[in-house]
A and B are shown apart, each in its own frame.
Chain A
């Protein structure tokens, strides 16, 4: 089940670049939250702070509090533990090129020492069905490499891989920006279905996409969260002038 995310006074740096400044927000569980804003505004950095991927960069630093469910992720646990509970899908599909489709989906479990084969079979099938890829790949699960699929299929494979470890939250960093419109709409349908089971945070450059899939939307600008509200309000009646300028296309 998805859990809520509470962010308090989050600050992040890359070297001396203060790329996130005093971000505070509350994302409800089992909903999709969209993050919009121009390039370099800190949205990607923000989601990378939610599963502690930010700190994998040696020059990166972060302060503040992030609570996912009851867990303070910077105080109560190690990075590897939180990353198992918070799945992530990247901008460019990144399947493991040497692994079969099956092994790609099972990777998160196998590499963490899980080896019950019958259960793995079931989890792989369920994850691929959840990511709407099962029917397209069920015949060559172990024969074909994950890299042999089309871009859109690869991205759904990456979603299946993230779902297989049974996370509570799914972070998606522009998951459709490298895909064609047909694949994009498949991913969007998927987000729609998945939010009944997971809390979804999606970064997107496509404002229509945000409007279609998310209940809540946050607008980032220059490392600050300018406005966070229901998607409907953000797109029809934003409180902040800058938000209005951005969504009406006056800049960005």
Chain B
């Protein structure tokens, strides 16, 4: 008996040790994931916060050598570009995802669309810029906000489409059956029950795609081009935060570098704000106990 209880004690000590080690590893992994994010944010605040002022948000860029100046046009420009992108990327992506998960399941067409979306997801963003340049900018003979928005919008489609599909497939079969058994037509059940049940996940997918294209520079170089002046016209070249950061960061001037840091900080804050706002607004209608 003595021996046995000794062995049991050893085993239980070993289990506790394993538990501790695995928990420690999980915590370490969390730190590794979060640390770069925190580091980037802290560094951005350190470098950029000092150059942030009211005029940064209200003024246009000044020529080299003149002090001050801001990125008002780039902030508004980014908002316009992302608005156009979302108008294209979100409906097309969600529509495609619904088709893949509900109406086209198992068909050749769905397989083809899924494959295309995955390939599109892997296309380098600079290639997307050149493609839109050839398709829209060249025929129109001028750079434009519209072409930039289209480039970003097309980049959003595959992410939105595939997450929508994944989220819809996660809705339990029992929920679909419940709707059908009530005599609800299939299309109605898909739109009002399945999509609604999956909507938190779908919204997350849209936000991911949005945040990803918000920081894209390459596709805008050949399309939106950038603009040092005030413009909100969809037919004119337009400024964008990533473009402006890129131009400023490459310049040899010290005060432009500082503005680039401030721009990067503002870009991140705007993305975080937009994502949180959408989350807040969409979570208000959620009921107690709904999962």
Given A92-B174, A97-B197, A83:B291 Cβ within 8 A: no
Residue of A nearest to B193 (CB): A96
The answer to whether B289 and A144 have CB atoms under 8 Å apart is yes
The answer to whether B181 and A87 have CB atoms under 8 Å apart is yes
What separation, in Å, do the CA atoms of A73 and B173 have in the docked complex? 24
Contacts of A90 in B (CB 8 A): 174, 177-178, 181
Contacts of A92 in B (CB 8 A): 174
The answer to whether B182 and A84 have CB atoms under 8 Å apart is yes
Whether B179 is near chain A, meaning CB under 8 Å from some CB there, is yes
Q: List 7 A-B contacts (CB under 8 A).
A: A85-B183, A88-B181, A98-B199, A108-B183, A111-B179, A143-B288, A144-B287
Total count of chain A residues near the partner, CB < 8 A: 36
The answer to whether A148 and B180 have CB atoms under 8 Å apart is no
What separation, in Å, do the CA atoms of A81 and B180 have in the docked complex? 11
Residue of B nearest to A82 (CB): B183
* A residues in contact (CB < 8 Å) with B: 51, 53, 56, 58, 80-85, 87-88, 90, 92, 94-100, 107-108, 111-112, 140, 143-145, 147-149, 158, 161-162, 165
Kindly name the residue among A58, A107, A140 whose own CB sees the greatest number of chain B CB atoms within 10 A: A107
Given A107-B182, A147-B291, A94:B174 Cβ within 8 A: yes
The answer to whether B196 and A98 have CB atoms under 8 Å apart is yes
Whether B184 is near chain A, meaning CB under 8 Å from some CB there, is yes
The answer to whether B182 and A165 have CB atoms under 8 Å apart is yes
Partner of A145, one of B185, B196, B289: B289
What separation, in Å, do the CA atoms of A73 and B287 have in the docked complex? 38
How far in angstroms is the closest Cβ of chain A from B104? 13
Given A97-B197, A98-B199, A143-B288, A56:B177 Cβ within 8 A: yes
Contacts of A56 in B (CB 8 A): 177, 180
Extra contacts besides A84-B183, A96-B178, A108-B184 (9): CB < 8 Å: A80-B184, A80-B185, A87-B181, A98-B199, A98-B290, A100-B287, A107-B182, A145-B288, A148-B289
Residue of B nearest to A110 (CB): B192
- The A interface, classified by DSSP as helix, strand, loop or mixed, is mixed
Partner of A81, one of B174, B181, B183: B183
Contacts of B286 in A (CB 8 A): 98
Total count of chain B residues near the partner, CB < 8 A: 26
How far in angstroms is the closest Cβ of chain B from A97? 6
Residue of A nearest to B199 (CB): A98
Contacts of A162 in B (CB 8 A): 181-182
The answer to whether A111 and B182 have CB atoms under 8 Å apart is yes
The answer to whether A98 and B197 have CB atoms under 8 Å apart is yes
| CB proximity to A under 8 Å, residues B275-291 | 286-291
What separation, in Å, do the CA atoms of A75 and B184 have in the docked complex? 20
The answer to whether B289 and A53 have CB atoms under 8 Å apart is no
The answer to whether B291 and A165 have CB atoms under 8 Å apart is no
How far in angstroms is the closest Cβ of chain A from B287? 4
Q: Mark B181-210, 1 if CB is under 8 A from A, else 0.
A: 111110011001100110100000000000
Contacts of A140 in B (CB 8 A): 288
Whether B175 is near chain A, meaning CB under 8 Å from some CB there, is yes
The answer to whether A111 and B178 have CB atoms under 8 Å apart is no
Contacts of B181 in A (CB 8 A): 51, 53, 83, 87-88, 90, 162
Contacts of A158 in B (CB 8 A): 178
The answer to whether B196 and A165 have CB atoms under 8 Å apart is no
Residue of A nearest to B195 (CB): A98
Contacts of A53 in B (CB 8 A): 177, 180-181
Q: Mark B42-81, 1 if CB is under 8 A from A, else 0.
A: 0000000000000000000000000000000000000000
